[in-house]
Structure 1
Amino acid sequence: MTANGNLPAELTGFVGRTVELAVAQRLLRRARLVTVVGPGGVGKSRLARRAAAGALPDFADGAWLVPCAELSDPALLCHAVAEALRLTDGTARPAREALRDFLAPRRLLLVLDGCEHLVEEAAPLLASLLTTAPGLKVLATSREPLGVEGEQQLPLSPLPTEGPDADAVTLFAQRAVAALPGFAVTPENAEQVGALCRRLDGIPLALELAAGRLPLLSVQQINERLGDRFALLTGGARTALPRHQTLRTAIGWSHELCSAQERLLWARLSVFVGTFDLDAAQYVCSGEGLTAEEVLETLGALVAKSVLLREPGLVDGVARYRMLDTLREYGAQWLRAADGEHLLRRRHRDWYLGLATWGEVEWFSPRQLETSVRTEAAHSNLRAALEYCLTDPGEEQLALFLAGTLWYFWVGCGHLGEGRVWLDRALDLAPEPTEARAKALWVTGYLCILQGDRLHAIRLLEECRQQALDTGDDRALAYAVHRQGCAALIADDLDRAVSLFDEALWHYDQLGELNSNVLMGMFELGLAHTFRGDAATGAAWIGKVLVECERFGERWAYAYGLFASAYAAWSVGDTAKARAQARECVRLNHAFRDLVGLVLGIELLALLATEPGDDGTPGDLREAALLQGAAHTLWRSVGEPLFGSDSFNAAHHACKQRVRHGLPEAEAAEAFRRGTTFALDELVVRALAQQPAAQAGTAQRPHDRTAVGALREPLAGQRE
C-alpha cells in the first residue's frame, strides 16, 4: 500500500491508454465525480487505478480504493467505504453521517471500483458526500453511469487492434511472454496474432485469457479453435452488445478448453467473495468429481490459465487467491445451471462459521493478533456467509450464532457499526428465546454501550438476563450481568457497577469460564473500585488482569488493563510507569484497530504530558493540548467522548485545567487545532515517540508509515 492511500501496486505491465489517461486526469481536475463506463473485461479497473495513482499529488489525504464487487448487500456500501478509508466508527449514528463528518475537512480521492450492482445505494451516497465534503472527488468504474448530478462519464473502448504497434497486440505479447517465456511476435506469426486480437475485439481480459493458452496451443491453433467457438456461440444472446458477446465467447472458449475438473472447480470457486486460501477451497469445493488432493492441482492449473489470481504476499503465512469478477459471474452461471449453488453456499457458510468459531477460541491465546489479521482477510466471505444465513429460510439461528460469535471481530478489531447491522437483522428475524439469541442479545448490548447507545443496551441486556433466568442459561446470565455492570460503570453508578461485576465474576467462576471477556470484567471491576476511591482494591484486580493476560498470552484485554494500571500509577505519582503503560496501551490497541482503547490511552498521555518528564524536564502543555485535540477528533468516530462519564472524564478535565492555567488561550487553541488535523497513523507515531511540541514547528509530518506499519507487519506473514 502507498503511504497516502491504499492503491495496490501493479503486478503486470500497463499497456496503452495514453489518451484515456489524459482525459481521466483532465476530468478529475474539473469534475467532482468521474465514472469510467464500459463492458466487463475492458480494463476499467486498471485504468482507474493508474489514473488515481497519477492524480495523487493533487490529493493531500490520498487516494483510496473501495472494491465494490465484493459486496452483495447495498446496505454495507458505507461500511466498505469506511473500512477502505481506515475509518473506525464505533458510534450508533448512521454510517453515512460518520463518513460525511470524516470526509468534510479532507482533500481526498475515492475510487469506487465495480459499483454497477450498487447504483441505487451508491448514487445517493455519493451525492450526499460530495455535497458536504468540498475536498472530495470520486473516480468510479461501472458498466453503467451512476446518474449523479455533475457526473462526467469516460466511456472506455477496447484496445486498438490495427497496425504493427497496436496496443492489443502489445498487451497480448506481454501476457504471452509471461505464460510462455521466449514467446515473441515474429514475421511468421504476426498475421495470426493480429487476427486473434481483432477476433477478440481488443478486449484486455479476452486477450489475457487467450495468452494463457499458449503453453498448450500455438497462436494459429488458438485462432482456429476460437473461430469454431464464434461460429457456435454468437447465435445466442441477440440482445447483448457485440462486445459483451465477444467477451462471453472468449470466456466460454477458455472455459471449454479447461479440463472437466478445472471447469468444475471454476464453478465451485465462484461462491467465494474476495480472497480465499487453499484450505477453504479444499473444504468447500471438494466432493463428487473432485477430491481434496485434486483441488490443489486444479487450483494451480487455473492460476496458470489466469482464471485465478494469486494475491501478492501472504496472510498469516498463507497464500491467498481471488477470481476476477467477470470470471466469477461466468462460473456462478454454470454452478446454478448444474443445480449446485445451494449446496456449495452451505459448505461455504460452514467453513466461515468454523473460521469464526475457531477465531473466538484463538482470541484468548498468544495468536490473538494473528486471529485479527486472519479474520480481516476473511471479512468479505464472512459477509457472504451472514447474508446467506439471513436470506435462506431456516438459517436464522445460525445467523444469530455467527453474528454473535464474531463479537471479538466487531469489538476488538474496530467494526462496531457493521456488527450492529448484522446483529440487529438477525435479532429481528429470530425472536424465539434460544441460546443463540441470548448470546446475540448480550453482544449487541455490549456494542451499544461502546457506541454510547446506553438506553438501548439496557433494554437488550435486561431481555437477555430475563431469558437466561427463564431458560436456566447460566452462561448467558453471567454475560448479561457483566454488561449491565458496564452500563452502570459509564453511568457513574459505581456501587451498582461493583455489585454487578462481582456477581458476574462469581457466575464465571462457577462455570469455569475464563477468556478475554472475563478478564475485561476483572479490569472493569478494578476500574470501578479505583474511580470510587478504593485504590488498593482497584490495583489488586488490575494486577490480576495483567498477570492472567501474561499467563495466557492475551493482549487485547491486556491493553485495557494497561490503561487502568497507568491511570492508577498516575494517581499515586508514578508518572514513569504511567507513561510506559499508556504508550503500550496505545500501541496494542492500534495494532488491533480498537479505537475505544486507543483514544483512552491518548487521553491519558495528554494528561501525562503536563507532568514533569522522566528526566525532570518540565511538562509540555502544548503537547497536552495537541493530544487532546487529536482525541477530540477520535471520539467523533467512537461515540460520546469518554462515554459521558464523570469518572472517565476526570483525567481529561485535569489536563484541560492545567493547559488553561499554564498556556495563553491563543497558544492552547492553536495546539488543540493542530491536534485535530492528525491522521490516525501519524498520531500514533507521535504518541509512541512523545515528540515535544516545541519541535513540531520545524518537523515535517511523518509520511513514512514504517513505524506504524511495523505494529501489524509481522502479523501479515512474510512478504514475497
Structure 2
Amino acid sequence: MTTPAGHHWGDIDLPVELTSFVGRQREVAAVKEALSNARVVTLSGVGGIGKTRLALKVATDLRRAFTDGVAFFGLSAAMDRPTLDSVVLGALRIRGESDHEAAEIITDFLSERQMLLVFDNCEHVVAESAALISNVIRRAPQVRVLATSRERLWVTGEYVWRVPPLSVPDPDSEGEFPQGLPGPSEYPALALFAERAAAAGGSNMAGGDWAEVARLCRRLDGLPLAIELAAVQTRMLSPSQLIRRFDERLGSLATRDRSVPDRHRSLEAAIEWSYELCSPEERLLWVRASVFAGPFSLESAASVCSGEGLPPEKVTDLVTGLIDKSLLVHEEHLGEVQFRQLETLAQYGRTRLREADADAEGELARRHRDWYLQLAEQSFAHSYSSDQLTWSRRLRRERANLNVAFEYCLSTPGEEQVALRFTAALLQYWYEGGGQLAEGRRWLEAALAVDAEPTWARVMSLRNLAWIYSQQQDHAAAEATLRDCRALARHLHDPLMDARIIATEAELALARGDCAASIARSEEALARPEYAADPARVTSFTILTVGHALLGNYEEAVRAHTEAQRCSAESGDSFRVSWAQVGRAVAELRVGAHSSVIVYTRECIRLAREFDSVFALSAAFALMLSSTAAEGDFVRAAVLLGARQRVRHALGITGVAAPAESGMIDAATARIRAELGEALFEATVARGFAHDLNGALDYALGIEDEPAPAAETGSAQVQAPAGALTPREEQVAALVAQGMSNKQIAAQLVLSPRTVEGHVEHILTKLGFTSRAHIAAWNVRQGR
C-alpha cells in the first residue's frame, strides 16, 4: 500500500523516526523472518540499545506488505489498562458508536484487518499489554504484533528477539586496537559515531582516530544511545579525552552498584556524563521536561518548566542546546514544530527530579495539569472561531499530555472539580473526530462520579455525556442524563445554558430519527433571546437543514442552510458547515439537482477531511454515490461505494450508519448491483476499496480521476513493487525539486497541505527515497 500524509502508513499515525538508522540490516532481516513465523515478536534489551529504532525500521520496510497498514502505539505514558486502551483507540482512530468495553471495540475493529501492530515500551504496562495482545491475536487472525520491552510479555506463541549492541572491532590479544582500522563502513558502531559527530558539528574522524573511537565504542558496549551522546561531545573533546572521562564516570557507578549489568551501567554512565556536561539551566530543563508525555511545544516548555533557576526567556536557547546535545528530538508535523525526549532520557530526568525534591515533582505535575487545562479551555473558547482548525490539530497532537493531566485530576485529592473542567471543555475534541466517543464517555463518567457539586462545569459535562450517549445509540441514557443536566441548569439560573440544552435535545431527536421533534426543539432554542448572539446557533441551523431535508421540505432546508452559512461567516466556524452541506445535499438530492449534490458533498468532504470528521465524510460519500447512481453513472457510483467503505474502514468507523444514511446506501447498492450485474458490481466496488484513504478522498473530490490503488498483498513477507508516479505526483515532484514547501505547493496547485503531504509520501515510497533532496536529484536525472 502507499503511504498517505504525515507518516500515515495504512492511514494510521506513526512517529517520525527519532534518529538515523545505521548498520542494522542483518537484525532487520532477522526480525522480518521472525515475524513471518510468529504472530508476536518481542524485541527485548536494555534501554538505549535501539529497540524502538529497529521496530520502526522493520515497520517501514513492511508497510506495503499489510493491506490495512501499520499502527504504532507509544506506551511510555501509559499507566494502567484504561490509558493503554486510550492510546490504542487513538492510534487506530476508532470512532465507533458502540458503548462496549474498549477491549471489545479494539478486537472487533481488528478482527477482519490485516495489520502489523507495533507496541513500543511495553515494560510500563507489561501485564496490561500482554492481556490486550493475547485478546487481539486470538480474535484477529491476520494481525501480527511487534513489541518492544525490557522484559518478555509471556504471551502464548511469543518469539523473543534480543536486540544486540552495534558491532565494534575486536582488539588484539593484548587488548589493543590496530591503528590501521579500515574506518566505519564495516562497523556500525563506528559509522553511527561518525555520522552523529558530523551532524553535531564535531570533529571529522581522521585515519588515526579510529582506534580511539573503537575503544570508546567498546567502552560504551555498542549501545546506540550512549554512542550518540558521546559523539556530540566531539565538538569539545577528542575521542581519547572522551575515553578518560567516561572511564572515570563508569568507575564511580561501578563502585555504587556492582549488581547492575555492565551494559546498563554503560548507558547510565553515558547519560550521567551528558547530564554533567550540560549547564545548570540545561539540566533543569532536562529534568523538568520529563513531565511531558510525548511531544511538547516550545510554548509548553516555557510555561511548565520555567521558574526558579530557569527564566522563561531562556527556554528557547536551552531547547536548542539540548537538541544540539542529542538530548531532545526536533519534530515537525503540518508546519508545527514540537520536541520530544527519548524515553530513556525522560526516565533519567524523572529519577533526578524525584531524588532532588519530591515536592518539586508534585508541583511540576500540577503546573503540567494547569497548562493543559488552560489549553483545553482555550480550545473551547475557539470552538466556533476562525482558529478552530488550528486548535483542533493542536489538541490532537497533545493527546498523550491531555490524558496525563486528566488522570492527575482523578488521582490527586482535592482536584476532582478540575477534572470536570476538562470534560466540560473537550466536547469539540471528541465531536470533531480527533478523539473518540469511547474515550470521551470514559472521561465524562469518571469525572462526574468523583464530584457532584452543582457547578457550570458539571452542567456542561452532563450535556456532553448526553450527546455522546446519543451518538452511541444509547437513547435512554441520553435522555436521562439530559434531564439531570436541565434540572441543574435551572437550579443555577443559567438561561443561556437552558437554551443550549434545548438545542442539544434537537440533536438527540435527530440522532434517533425523529425529524419533526428535532425541528421543533431547534426552533424553540432559536426563539430564546439568550441564544440570539451565541455562535452555537450555527449548530441549530445545521440541525434544521438536515431535519427539513430529510422530511422533503426543500425551501425550509435552503433557508436554514443559508442561515447556517451566515452564522458560520460571522464567527469563523467551518467545522459545522460541513454538516450543513450534508443537509443541503440531501435537499438537492430529493429534488433531483444532482450537479448541486456533487458541489455540496465535495465541499463537505473538503472541510471534514481537515478536521478528520469521519461521520460527515461517510454521509457525504453516501449522498454522492446515490446521486451518481441516480444520474445513471453506475460504474463511478460503484467505485464511490468501495471508496466509502475504504474511508470508514481506514478511519475506524465501526457499527452501522445512522438510519437515514443506511437506508440511502441500501437503496443505492441494490440499484447499482442490478444495473451492473453481480460480477462487475463486485469488481468495481473492490476497485474503489483498493484506494488508500487519500486516494479515495481525492477521487470523490475529482482531484484525480483514478488514483493509484493500494497494493494487493497476501502475507507479511510480500512487498509490492513500487509503481510509476501519477501525473499529479510528477507535478508535485517537480515543485519539490524547486525547493517549495508543502504549504507553497498546496497554494500553487489549489490543494490542501495534507493532500500535498500525502503525495510527497507516495513519491518517497514509490521511488524508494527517504528525503526531499533525493526527489530533487531524481527529477534532475529525469531531465526535468
TM-score (norm 2): 0.83
Q: Spell out the pairing of 1:339-488 with structure 2 (5 A cutoff).
A: 339=358, 340-415=360-435, 416-488=437-509
Structure 2 counterpart of 1:615? none
User: Which of 530, 535, 553 is the equivalent residue of 2:554?
Assistant: 535
Q: Spell out the pairing of 1:1-400 with structure 2 (5 A cutoff).
A: 1=6, 4-5=9-10, 6=13, 10=17, 12-163=19-170, 164=181, 165-187=186-208, 189-311=209-331, 313-315=332-334, 317-337=335-355, 338-339=357-358, 340-400=360-420
- Once the two structures are TM-superposed, the CA of residue 674 in structure 1 deviates from its matched residue by 5.8
- Once the two structures are TM-superposed, the CA of residue 185 in structure 1 deviates from its matched residue by 4.5
The residue identity in structure 2 corresponding to 1:545 is A
The residue identity in structure 2 corresponding to 1:429 is V
Residue aligned with 1:336, SS:
helix
Distance 1:627 1:18, change over 3 A: closer
1:338-380 Cα shifts (integer Å, max 9, x gaps): 2311111111112111222222222322222222222222222
Instruction: Tell me whether 1:544 sits opposite 2:551 in the alignment.
Output: no
Whole-Å separation in 2 of the counterparts to 1:55 and 1:492: 44
Distance 1:676 1:129, change over 3 A: farther
Whole-Å separation in 2 of the counterparts to 1:549 and 1:141: 47
Q: Spell out the pairing of 1:681-692 with structure 2 (5 A cutoff).
A: 681-689=694-702
The residue identity in structure 2 corresponding to 1:222 is L
The residue identity in structure 1 corresponding to 2:392 is S
The residue identity in structure 2 corresponding to 1:578 is V
- When structure 1 is superposed on structure 2, of 38-47 and 174-183 the one drifting more is 174-183
Residue aligned with 2:73, SS:
strand
1:469-507 Cα shifts (integer Å, max 9, x gaps): 222233332232222222222333333322222222234
- Once the two structures are TM-superposed, the CA of residue 622 in structure 1 deviates from its matched residue by 4.0
Residue aligned with 1:129, SS:
helix
Distance 1:716 1:465, change over 3 A: farther
- Once the two structures are TM-superposed, the CA of residue 545 in structure 1 deviates from its matched residue by 0.3
- Once the two structures are TM-superposed, the CA of residue 577 in structure 1 deviates from its matched residue by 1.2
Instruction: Tell me whether 1:609 sits opposite 2:628 in the alignment.
Output: yes
Distance 1:633 1:442, change over 3 A: farther
Whole-Å separation in 2 of the counterparts to 1:390 and 1:3: 33
Residue aligned with 1:310, SS:
strand
- 5+ residue gaps, structure 2, are 1-5, 171-180, 713-721, 733-741, 761-770, 773-784
Distance 1:310 1:669, change over 3 A: closer
Distance 1:623 1:198, change over 3 A: same
- When structure 1 is superposed on structure 2, of 195-204 and 137-146 the one drifting more is 195-204
Whole-Å separation in 2 of the counterparts to 1:586 and 1:205: 44
Whole-Å separation in 2 of the counterparts to 1:86 and 1:210: 39
The residue identity in structure 1 corresponding to 2:699 is R
What is the percent sequence identity of the aligned residues?
Answer: 34
Residue aligned with 2:255, SS:
coil
Structure 1 counterpart of 2:511? 490
- Once the two structures are TM-superposed, the CA of residue 714 in structure 1 deviates from its matched residue by 8.4
Distance 1:533 1:168, change over 3 A: closer
The residue identity in structure 2 corresponding to 1:38 is G
- Once the two structures are TM-superposed, the CA of residue 332 in structure 1 deviates from its matched residue by 0.8
Whole-Å separation in 1 of the counterparts to 2:553 and 2:306: 60
Whole-Å separation in 1 of the counterparts to 2:216 and 2:326: 18
Residue aligned with 2:579, SS:
helix
Whole-Å separation in 2 of the counterparts to 1:641 and 1:53: 33
- When structure 1 is superposed on structure 2, of 166-175 and 296-305 the one drifting more is 166-175
- When structure 1 is superposed on structure 2, of 189-198 and 207-216 the one drifting more is 189-198
Q: Is the 8 A contact 1:630 1:683 kept in 2?
A: yes
Q: Is the 8 A contact 1:609 1:620 kept in 2?
A: yes
Whole-Å separation in 2 of the counterparts to 1:713 and 1:677: 20
Whole-Å separation in 2 of the counterparts to 1:572 and 1:170: 69
Distance 1:454 1:670, change over 3 A: farther
- Once the two structures are TM-superposed, the CA of residue 330 in structure 1 deviates from its matched residue by 0.7
Structure 2 counterpart of 1:616? none
Whole-Å separation in 1 of the counterparts to 2:639 and 2:204: 60
Instruction: Tell me whether 1:641 sits opposite 2:660 in the alignment.
Output: no
Q: Answer 1 or 2: higher relative contact order, Cα 8 Å, separation at least 6.
A: 2
Whole-Å separation in 2 of the counterparts to 1:633 and 1:483: 31
Whole-Å separation in 2 of the counterparts to 1:86 and 1:279: 27
1:607-643 Cα shifts (integer Å, max 9, x gaps): 101232xxxxxx1234434544554676684465342
- When structure 1 is superposed on structure 2, of 349-358 and 77-86 the one drifting more is 77-86
Q: Is the 8 A contact 1:34 1:154 kept in 2?
A: yes
Distance 1:121 1:628, change over 3 A: same
Q: Is the 8 A contact 1:484 1:500 kept in 2?
A: yes
Structure 1 counterpart of 2:754? 713
Q: Is the 8 A contact 2:552 2:590 kept in 1?
A: no
Whole-Å separation in 1 of the counterparts to 2:261 and 2:368: 34
Residue aligned with 1:610, SS:
helix
Q: Is the 8 A contact 1:209 1:306 kept in 2?
A: yes
Structure 2 counterpart of 1:557? 576
- When structure 1 is superposed on structure 2, of 318-327 and 632-641 the one drifting more is 632-641
Whole-Å separation in 2 of the counterparts to 1:353 and 1:630: 39
- When structure 1 is superposed on structure 2, of 51-60 and 339-348 the one drifting more is 51-60
Q: Aligned residues, how many? A: 707
The residue identity in structure 2 corresponding to 1:620 is D
- Once the two structures are TM-superposed, the CA of residue 36 in structure 1 deviates from its matched residue by 0.6
Whole-Å separation in 1 of the counterparts to 2:58 and 2:675: 50
Structure 1 counterpart of 2:3? none
Q: Is the 8 A contact 1:277 1:320 kept in 2?
A: yes
Distance 1:224 1:294, change over 3 A: same
- 5+ residue gaps, structure 1, are 613-618
Residue aligned with 2:106, SS:
helix
- Once the two structures are TM-superposed, the CA of residue 665 in structure 1 deviates from its matched residue by 5.0
Whole-Å separation in 1 of the counterparts to 2:754 and 2:687: 29
Whole-Å separation in 2 of the counterparts to 1:655 and 1:397: 50
Whole-Å separation in 2 of the counterparts to 1:84 and 1:448: 23
Distance 1:676 1:175, change over 3 A: closer
Whole-Å separation in 2 of the counterparts to 1:256 and 1:541: 65
Whole-Å separation in 1 of the counterparts to 2:73 and 2:506: 39
Q: Is the 8 A contact 1:62 1:109 kept in 2?
A: yes
Q: Is the 8 A contact 2:605 2:617 kept in 1?
A: yes
Whole-Å separation in 2 of the counterparts to 1:586 and 1:191: 60
Whole-Å separation in 2 of the counterparts to 1:263 and 1:554: 43
How big is the alpha-carbon RMSD for the aligned residues of Structure 1 and Structure 2?
3.3
1:48-95 Cα shifts (integer Å, max 9, x gaps): 122222334532333332222243343233342343344433433333
Q: Is the 8 A contact 2:28 2:54 kept in 1?
A: yes
